């Protein structure tokens, strides 16, 4: 058995993080309202076929679903634990809409132009999930309803709430927080918080 019983090993959280109870809400800007008739999820950019694909929200239920249990690490310090996410594995997206062979990164786009760039390998990691549910309930509005990307092995800013599109990229491009001083790669175990910590080659456009 694993878990939080008396014999469980001490929980490991990434360096410099503090454990918080419950689940704080953290994002920039307002919470969007879900309008089902206008909503879709779009996969575009450098697809192998050259065509883009969209799903209406109800059509997402036909895709395979998985459960992922993971902690959430905000780069400003709080770590909340034991989130049970339910949704579509990101690999289902790349299988249904294969990227062109030269795709190296994706931009995960949310409402209001928020975007997080990811290496393709981070997007297709086994635990990366397009979540519709949390702890058995649909996501709440402030946590990303109806759909959010969750990339458990990276800081929270790589997990856009209110996800609307995946854009396949043939070169890296900075997302919203990555343009505003946050690390391009965002590995919490390496404490990759800020862009000034980036080593050569870890971010795009570093030579101006």
Ligand X SMILES: Nc1nc2c(c(=O)[nH]1)N[C@H]1C(S)=C(S)[C@@H](COP(=O)(O)O)O[C@H]1N2
Which CB atom, from 168 or from 177, has the smaller least distance to ligand X?
177
Which CB atom, from 67 or from 189, has the smaller least distance to Mo ion?
189
Distances in whole angstroms, Cα of residue 165 to Cα of each of 6, 55, 61, 133, 203: 43, 10, 17, 18, 22
Q: What does 89 interact with, of ligand X, Mo ion, none (CB < 5 to 8 A by kind)?
A: none
User: Hey, is 106 helix, strand or coil?
Assistant: strand
Tell me if 85 contacts ligand X by CB under 6 A: no
Among 55, 114, 123, 145, binds ligand X (CB under 6 A): 114
Q: Is residue 17 left, alpha or beta, with left meaning phi > 0 and alpha meaning psi from -120 to 50? A: beta
Cα angle 114, 116, 117 (rounded to 5 degrees) comes to: 140
Among 27, 42, 119, 173, binds ligand X (CB under 6 A): 27
Tell me if 168 contacts ligand X by CB under 6 A: no
- Look up residue 194 and give its DSSP letter: B
Tell me if 81 contacts ligand X by CB under 6 A: no
Tell me if 110 contacts ligand X by CB under 6 A: yes
Least spacing, CB of residue 122 vs Mo ion, in Å: 16
User: Which residues inside 47-76 make contact with ligand X, applying CB under 6 A?
Assistant: 72, 74
Which CB atom, from 47 or from 178, has the smaller least distance to ligand X?
178
**Residue 30 CB partners (closer than 8 Å, separation 6+):** 112
| Residues in contact with Mo ion by the rule CB under 5 A | 26, 74, 156-157
Residue 8, Cβ neighbours under 10 Å: how many?
A: 10
Least spacing, CB of residue 168 vs Mo ion, in Å: 25
């Amino acid at each position: 058995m694993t878990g939080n019983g008396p014999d469980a090993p001490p929980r490991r959280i990434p360096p410099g993080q503090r454990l918080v109870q419950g689940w704080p809400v953290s994002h920039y800007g307002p919470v969007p309202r879900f309008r089902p008739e206008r909503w879709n999820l779009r996969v575009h950019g450098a697809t192998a076929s050259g065509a883009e694909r969209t799903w209406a929200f109800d059509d997402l239920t036909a895709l395979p679903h998985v459960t992922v249990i993971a902690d959430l690490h905000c780069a400003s310090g709080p770590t909340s634990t034991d989130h049970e996410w339910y949704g579509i594995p990101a690999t289902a997206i790349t299988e249904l809409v294969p990227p062109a062979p030269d795709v190296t990164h994706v931009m995960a786009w949310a409402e209001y132009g928020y975007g997080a760039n990811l290496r393709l390998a981070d997007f297709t990691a086994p635990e990366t999930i397009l979540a519709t549910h949390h702890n058995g309930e649909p996501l709440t509005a402030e946590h990303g309803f109806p759909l959010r990307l969750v990339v458990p092995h990276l800081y929270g800013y790589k997990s856009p709430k209110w996800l609307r599109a995946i854009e396949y990229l043939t070169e890296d491009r900075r997302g919203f927080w990555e343009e505003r001083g946050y690390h391009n790669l965002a590995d919490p175990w390496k404490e990759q918080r800020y862009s000034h910590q980036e080593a050569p080659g870890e971010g795009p456009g570093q030579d101006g």
